[in-house]
């Protein structure tokens, strides 16, 4: 049985599926986020600049749940693949996370930024993304 990563209970091995997705992405395969970037499938985009975009998570875990992603994934299928020359993009994404949080009014109340990495981190889409979650009292620790 796979890990419980918050989805519906599934009969197949979720960990194996996650490893397959990670392998595909690490080999340059597309993810669903490429289609969002190209506007081939719809998303509610709340911010965009030359480097990144932010849109609403389709399965929100709180009243506000945004994803901030680099438009060019490059090697950043996941945070653990980050290299020295990704530092400016990583900084830009984190800075943008606060900008979009403020745009949602969350700078007044507090919010959370999460990056899930790999199988044990419950990552499901292998294109780096920051979750920006808020609009209710969150709890700690996470599952």
Per CB under 6 A, 116 contacts ligand TR5: yes
Q: Binding ligand TR5 by CB under 6 A: which of 32, 46, 51, 62?
A: 32
Name the DSSP class of 83: -
Structural contact between residues 37 and 43, judged by C-beta atoms closer than 8 angstroms: no
Per CB under 6 A, 125 contacts ligand TR5: yes
Closest CB to ligand TR5 among residues 62, 108: 62
What's the closest the beta carbon of residue 78 comes to ligand TR5, in angstroms?
Answer: 9
The 52-91 contact track toward ligand TR5, x by CB under 6 A, reads: -----xxx-------x------------------------
Label residues 51-77 b or e (16+ Cβ within 10 Å = b): ebbbbebeeeebebbbbbbbbebeebb
Per CB under 6 A, 138 contacts ligand TR5: no
Beta strands in the chain (DSSP E): 45-48, 52-56, 64-70, 111-114, 130-134
What's the closest the beta carbon of residue 129 comes to ligand TR5, in angstroms?
Answer: 6
Q: Please tell me the count of residues contacting ligand TR5 according to CB under 6 A.
A: 12
Structural contact between residues 78 and 123, judged by C-beta atoms closer than 8 angstroms: yes
């Amino acid at each position: 049985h796979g890990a419980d990563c918050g989805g519906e209970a599934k009969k197949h091995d979720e960990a194996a599926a996650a490893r397959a997705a990670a392998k595909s992405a690490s080999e340059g395969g597309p993810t669903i986020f490429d289609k969002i970037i190209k506007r081939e499938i719809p998303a509610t985009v709340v911010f965009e600049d030359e480097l990144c975009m932010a849109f609403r998570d389709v399965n929100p875990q709180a009243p506000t749940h945004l994803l901030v992603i680099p438009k060019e994934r490059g090697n950043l299928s996941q945070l653990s693949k980050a290299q020295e020359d990704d530092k400016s993009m990583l900084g830009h994404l984190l800075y943008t996370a606060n900008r979009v949080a403020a745009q949602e009014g969350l700078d007044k109340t507090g919010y959370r930024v999460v990056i899930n990495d790999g199988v044990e981190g419950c990552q499901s889409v292998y294109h780096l993304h920051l979750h920006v979650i808020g609009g209710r009292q969150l709890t700690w620790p996470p599952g």
